[in-house]
Structure 1
């Protein structure tokens, strides 16, 4: 049975795929992940969350391989507590964008993740506060010039309408070519290092661990998972995903995230392996 699952690497998005911000991790997901890995399956996550937040949300689940963190900007190995790969923003261009956006949208929340994903709050609002509470994130409030070097991403946070307007505004502006904007949620718009994504994180992970991308299965729910899903050997969308994401997937779960979609899919994998 072990050999049937040991070549299978499952990479799972976290928010609204593996867990919800309010209800957390469904119990069945925890049970089946532990069963899957005990039988030799490989399981890890690909998420916008920094390592500290991943650790809190997984509540003791042991990942088989390093996590793809900060949307691919960090590969973090929890077994050794080390960053295996880090991509960084052009700080000057990101700073120009932040200052211009705050001038245009003075109520916009702004967070910078630097170093190992530590959060620095440049401009707080209700959404940045909820972000810290929901994801169990520690943070340091400070002016932009006091944030240490090694920025891995910037998060703009506000209500969906403000983020929609910001997204439209950002498309009309040019802050330099080294970074790009990425919508990761209807309440977040992020600045990421150019050429860095969950998909490149998957490629980096497979190269580092000497694994074949053909044997990877990605489970996701949102537009920022599309490139990752297209890169993987097999793509699964959860039932609560938008139509475009479902259309990209090879399979769609019956359950939603909150109902335990990841557990449902992993159990089907175990069942197939057991019978083969």
Structure 2
């Protein structure tokens, strides 16, 4: 890896990598991220969260690059508060999936994110409520037909066993080719636009910035980070990642998310850059 910090473009997953929903960002991560950016390093996030939630979680951290949001469906520049790219679901196919799954699984929570990541709650449960509270999201409760156009993703939320069953059920159904299902957490299953994910967001971001993808560093923890990690110039898995994610990474941190895994790795880059 290069020694000049400005050569790095670091894309960091958020939940269970940079932070936990309950505890937030460890202070050591905040300190080292600020130092990394002050010394010329370029740092941003690649998250399933919408911009509103990313902003709330980061607090006083000012990203030095646009963010990959909504699992790649939105590229968002916080410095100008602009959506740089907006990929959308095929609404009729997503609606068919929602109605079918809601009928099959009466307790499933359903959210639609549209526009710049605004949340619309189609069916609430304890998991959608926790999602809003933990990620500081405002939401509008409404029937599916009342959600505005420009859907970026659908989130099904329930206990891990129900989500597993929904994922299995979805594999037996055909709702069209324009969307696909993506497990993003043990309690979330999402519908995303076909061809869109964190990896496509990484590629598009490099194109927008005029950068080579070989200069990217990706830090992640879950299966939905795998393709992005494989595309990046260098990939890092945090210590709490599943074995398959660790096996796919170039490096695994010593620390877990809550122990400051991101700070650990960024400080290593700083040390390399300042050691002659």
Same fold (TM over 0.5): yes
Q: 2-side partners of 1:238 and 1:28: how far apart?
A: 15
Aligned-residue CA RMSD (Å) = 1.0
Give 1:55's aligned residue.
55
Counterpart for residue 7 of structure 2: 7
Task: Output the CA distance in 1 between the equivalents of 2:86 and 2:203.
Answer: 14
Shift of 1:59: 1.0
CA distance in 2, matches of 1:133, 1:21: 9
C-alpha distance in 2 between matches for 1:59 and 1:25: 10
**Aligned-partner Cα distance in 2 for 1:4–1:233:** 15
Partner of 2:181: 181
SS for the counterpart of 2:174 is: coil
Offset at 1:48? Answer: 0.2
Matches within 5 A, 1:73-112: 73-112=73-112
Q: Which runs of 4+ in 1 moved over 6 A?
A: none
- Per-residue CA distance 1:27-76 (angstroms, 9 max, x = gap): 00000000000000000000000000000000120001100000000000
Unaligned ranges ≥5, structure 2: none
Deviations 1:180-235 (A, max 9, x none): 00000000000000000000000010000111110100000000000000000000
C-alpha displacement of 1:166: 0.3
Deviation at 1:97, TM superposition (A): 0.3
User: What is the CA–CA distance in structure 2 between the aligned matches of 1:24 and 1:37, rounded to whole Å?
Assistant: 20
Deviation string, structure 1 residues 158-177 (Cα, Å, up to 9, x no partner)? 00010010011001001000
Which residue number corresponds to residue 123 of structure 2? 123
> SS where residue 33 of structure 2 aligns?
helix
In the alignment, the residues of structure 2 paired with residue 147 and residue 247 of structure 1 have an alpha-carbon distance, to the nearest angstrom, of 40
Q: TM-score, normalised by structure 2?
A: 0.99
2:38 equivalent to 1:38: yes
| Structure 2 Cα separation of the partners of residues 206 and 161 of structure 1 | 38
- Helix, strand or coil for the counterpart of 1:195? coil
Match for residue 263 of structure 2?
Answer: 263
Distance 1:245 1:47 in 2: 16
Q: Deviation string for 1:118-139 (max 9, x for gaps)?
A: 0000000000000000000000
2:4 alignment partner, SS class: helix
Q: CA deviation at 1:238?
A: 0.2
Distance 2:237 2:57 in 1: 21
DSSP-derived class of the 1:6 partner:
helix
Structure 2 distance, partners of 1:15, 1:60, is 18
User: What SS does the aligned partner of 1:131 have?
Assistant: helix
* Partner SS for 1:218: strand
Who is 1:140 aligned against?
140
The TM-score normalised by the length of structure 1 is 0.99
Mark the runs of 5 or more structure 1 residues left unpaired by the alignment.
none
Q: Residues 192-271 of structure 1: matches in 2 within 5 Å?
A: 192-271=192-271
Measured in 1, the distance between the counterparts of 2:59 and 2:65 equals 16
How many positions carry a matched residue from both structures?
Answer: 275
